[in-house]
Structure 1
Amino acid sequence: MGNASSTLTQYDIEEVQEHCNYLFSQQEIVALYERFCQLDRNAKGFISADEFLSIPEFSLNPLSQRLLKMVDGLNFKDFVAFLSAFSAKASLQHKIELIFKVYDIDGKGQVTFKDLLEVLRDLTGSFMSEEQREHVLVWVLEEAGYTRNSSILLDDFVKVLSSPGLKMEVEVPVD
């Protein structure tokens, strides 16, 4: 598995399944490996930020630069682990933890007003002024019981986002 051009053994597949808490079937892991090898153009055994940006859905995502920080240099096992949050079988907790990492810009385990503002800036671009973004964000935080000086921890994030209906899934095409 270290070399992207090698083939997966049954042991490799089972090891990746275990690493991802069995959120993908063996067929899905093989399909993901084929995609990983396509993305790993230089057969280095990991995918660079530039290679990730070759995925149209990824490069068009307004949060792609944040996601790149999380995925740059992933080997196959970690690539599948990252994608596991998008599995239909992943728990809501698992999905929320990934979202939290996207918002936790500095990786300190808390989301601040500044972090939220930066993400909102990425999402809205020039469609909102900085003043509008701050106004909206202050209102949303107050509605959730927070202030602009609050730091939101993962547990708080889980409480806010645990509403039914959160959908964050991707299907792995299997031949």
Structure 2
Amino acid sequence: MGNKLVTFTDQQLENYQDCTFFTRKDILRVYKRFREVRPDLVPKRMKQNEPITVKIPLADSIEKLTELRENPFRKRICEVFSRDGKGNLSFEDFLDLLSVFSEQAPRDIKVFYAFKIYDFDSDQHIGPNDIDQALALLTRQELMPEEKQQIIEKVIEEADVDGDGKLSYMEFDHVITRAPDFLSTFHIRI
């Protein structure tokens, strides 16, 4: 009974429960998964501000995290969820990422982060260049330039309600509402 390693204080676990869609058990499982990626960097017990200062480098995140390995957006996902914007994930970044991708996360949170992931240039719109980058990732650069251009034009034509040549968050949300498979594809199991 006295041999149990305490990874987080009760207060830390309570705080993580309050700001994620996870139980205490889930949070500890996420931490175990985070630590497995780089046990040489990640301590067994997190002290003070280590949950935000100890970071797994982007290269390790996208190579060693099975949750991301097959996702064509893995690098972009890490960039969006990392506080540094470069994809280096702290434990809290990783916890946020998995929380948003969990089954328990509500649709509006998933849509918000999906928009951020597709907004490659972070200009608060999804424009032709953003769609082009998404297509490149989704098709592994196998489309001819003319095919990509047709798809980009069709997406803009179908979803751009205000006619400004790009998708606002509201237009993106409207498109996602019509995509019943969205919630099942925006999911990572822990």
Q: TM over 0.5: same fold?
A: yes
- When residues 124 and 57 of structure 1 are mapped into structure 2, their CA distance, relative to the original with a 3 A threshold, is same
Pair 25,38 (structure 1): closer, same or farther in 2 beyond 3 Å: same
Contact 1:113 1:148 in 2 (8 A): no
Amino acid at match of 1:16: Y
State the alpha-carbon separation in 2 of the partners of residues 161 and 94 from structure 1. 12
Q: 1:160 to 1:139 in 2, by over 3 A?
A: same
Q: Among the aligned pairs, what percent are the same residue? A: 25
- Post-superposition, which runs of at least 4 consecutive aligned residues in structure 1 deviate over 3 A? 145-149
1:108-147 to 2 correspondence within 5 Å? Answer: 108-145=123-160
Name the residue aligned to 2:30: 32
Q: Which moved more, 1:145-154 or 1:80-89?
A: 145-154
Alignment of 1:1-175 (within 5 A): 7-20=7-20, 23-43=21-41, 45-53=54-62, 54-70=64-80, 71=82, 72-145=87-160, 150-163=165-178, 164-166=180-182, 167=184, 168-172=186-190
2: CA distance between counterparts of 1:64 and 1:128?
Answer: 21
Question: For the structure 1 residues 39 and 67, does the alpha-carbon distance in structure 2 shift closer, same or farther, using more than 3 Å as the test?
Answer: same
Letter in 2 for 1:65: K
Q: Distance in 1 between matches of 2:157 and 2:23?
A: 43
Question: Residue 40 of structure 1: CA displacement?
Answer: 3.3
What is the number of residues matched between the two proteins?
166
CA displacement at 1:32 relative to structure 2: 0.4
**AA matched with 1:33:** Y
Moved more, 112-121 or 125-134: 125-134
Q: CA contact under 8 A between 2:78 and 2:89: conserved in structure 1?
A: no
Distance in 1 of aligned mates of 2:59 and 2:160: 40
Q: Could you say what secondary structure the match of 1:152 adopts?
A: coil
Distance 1:125 1:73, change over 3 A: closer
Higher relative contact order (CA 8 A, sep 6+): 1
Q: Distance in 2 between matches of 1:26 and 1:116?
A: 38
Q: Is the 8 A contact 1:46 1:75 kept in 2?
A: yes
Aligned alpha-carbon RMSD (Å): 2.3
